[in-house]
Amino acid sequence: GAVVSQHPSWVICKSGTSVKIECRSLDFQATTMFWYRQFPKQSLMLMATSNEGSKATYEQGVEKDKFLINHASLTLSTLTVTSAHPEDSSFYICSAGTGSQPQHFGDGTRLSIL
Amino acid sequence: AQKITQTQPGMFVQEKEAVTLDCTYDTSDPSYGLFWYKQPSSGEMIFLIYQGSYDQQNATEGRYSLNFQKARKSANLVISASQLGDSAMYFCAMRETSGTYKYIFGTGTRLKVLA
């Protein structure tokens, strides 16, 4: 079945550092990828829709300058958390799919900012 | 606006028994998709089952079946013959069928299977 790879699985870094998370569709081309954030024991919250070759569409309340999204190819989208602070610590997960097919999710990235 | 509601924060089931996880939705769109995902403690989201709004029959995938009642706007997940490995968080989701195809997730139900 479709596979989505997300890297890194976890990262710990100092406050003020920028962190890049990659999401790759390994066996299909994804014109659209999605980035979610999940706090402990809560549901997934959609942050933005990543569109290949164009600007991402951010959900209300998500800071565009804080969470930079780039979708340079049909198989890769990146989320960069700029100048990360402890409140940015969370579980970030991406998904990808083609058309009406079910989305497939990466394994997620646990981000801890010290 | 579209909305997904899961009213059961947690459920227990005895091993080998069946369990139903509830999901209700609200949308004004005639065309939509409903999904169930499983999230183990390790965090990955595992696709379980899909139901389209125009599908006449309830979806089934192995031990998973979706009890789709369109008039009641419910899409309950039934897991038969529960296994210890079924212990996880379960999310119901609805998807737009046009535009971006983005998902709206419910708050989830934590299932614990007892030996």
Q: Quick one: pLDDT at residue B25? A: 96
Grade residue A1 by pLDDT with cuts at 50, 70 and 90: low
Closest by Cα among A58, A35, A56, A33 to A45: A35
For residues A55-63, give the mean pLDDT.
93
Q: Quick one: pLDDT at residue A10? A: 96
Q: Quick one: pLDDT at residue B98? A: 66
Grade residue A28 by pLDDT with cuts at 50, 70 and 90: confident
Q: How many CA atoms lie within 13 A of B113 on its CB side?
A: 20
Q: Quick one: pLDDT at residue B81? A: 97
Per-chain mean pLDDT for chain A: 92
Q: Quick one: pLDDT at residue B82? A: 98
For residues A26-53, give the mean pLDDT.
90
B35, B50, B103, B111, best to mutate vs chain A, most A CBs in 10 Å: B103
Q: Which residues 51-90 on chain B approach chain A with CB closer than 8 angstroms?
A: none
CA distance A4 to chain B (A): 11
Task: Decide if B106 touches A, using CB distance below 8 A.
Answer: yes
Distances (CA, A) of B18 to A76, B46, B65, B77, B80: 40, 20, 11, 10, 4
Closest by Cα among A26, A113, A3 to A76: A26
A3, A43, A93, best to mutate vs chain B, most B CBs in 10 Å: A43
Task: Decide if B100 touches A, using CB distance below 8 A.
Answer: yes
**Sheet-wide strand order for A76-81:** A4-7, A19-25, A76-81, A67-73
Kindly list the residues from chain B whose CB atom is less than 8 angstroms away from the CB atom of residue A102.
35, 47, 50
- Of A25-34, A37-46, A55-64, B85-94, give the lowest mean pLDDT range: A25-34
Task: Decide if B91 touches A, using CB distance below 8 A.
Answer: yes
Contact B44 A100 (CB under 8 A): no
Q: Quick one: pLDDT at residue A65? A: 95
The partner residue sitting opposite A100, judged by closest CB among B47, B97, B100, is B97
Grade residue A2 by pLDDT with cuts at 50, 70 and 90: low
Q: What is the mean pLDDT of each run of 10 residues along chain B (115 residues)?
A: 92 98 93 94 94 93 97 97 97 82 93 97
Grade residue A43 by pLDDT with cuts at 50, 70 and 90: very high
Q: Quick one: pLDDT at residue A54? A: 85
C-alpha to C-alpha distance for A64 and A91, rounded to whole angstroms = 18
